[in-house]
Amino acid sequence: MIRVTDQISIDESDLDEQFVRASGPGGQNVNKLSTAVELRFDLRGSSKLPAPLRIRLERLAGRRLTKDGVLVIRAEKYRTQELNRADARARLVALIAQAAIAPKPRIKTRPSRAAKERRLKAKSHRADVKRNRRARPSLD
């Protein structure tokens, strides 16, 4: 089990890891070893996550989410499989922890009378400034 928060944990059997060849610099190893990790987590198939968290997580995942509801995280920052695997898992945990924070509901407020008056006074002052910039015909 991978613990995300006190209430949320992920079963390691829900994760699917594939090791693929990394892109970019790496000398001879880049052509011989599969050090990059492609971590897949089935969001829609996971029964451990509550529905509101799953919805927020789908929104946060963006293009990392496939049409089938699988979250794909690719880690290739390091030159070893172990470090890339740890990095991919840490990024998954961070993403789920971010989605676990429920947004505060917006409370509707209305501007005060003084705020409305200040806004209108600023608008009229700005209009006066622009009006005074206009070219005036000379009285010659």
CATH number reported for the structural domain that contains residue 64 in this entry: 3.30.160.20
Q: Who wins on pLDDT, 41 or 77?
A: 41
Contacts of 115 by beta carbon, 8 Å cutoff, 6+ apart = none
Q: Are 36 and 24 in contact (CB under 8 A)?
A: no
Q: How do residues 50-72 score in pLDDT, each as one tens digit?
A: 777 788 888 887 787 888 878 88
**69/40 Cα distance (integer angstroms):** 10
**28/26 Cα distance (integer angstroms):** 6
DSSP state of 28: T
In a domain, 134, yes or no: no
Given a cut of 90, is residue 117 above it in pLDDT? yes
Q: Are strands 2-3 and 36-42 parallel, antiparallel or unpaired?
A: unpaired
Nearest to 10 by CA among 76, 54, 67: 54
- Residue 83: what pLDDT? 84
Q: What percent of the chain has pLDDT over 90?
A: 16
When pLDDT is cut at 50, 70 and 90, the band that residue 37 belongs to is confident
What's the number of domains the chain is made of?
1
In a domain, 90, yes or no: yes
In a domain, 88, yes or no: yes
In a domain, 24, yes or no: yes
In a domain, 9, yes or no: yes
Q: Who wins on pLDDT, 86 or 119?
A: 119
Q: What percent of the chain has pLDDT over 70?
A: 79
In a domain, 50, yes or no: yes
In a domain, 30, yes or no: yes
Identify the domain containing residue 73 by its residue range: 2-100
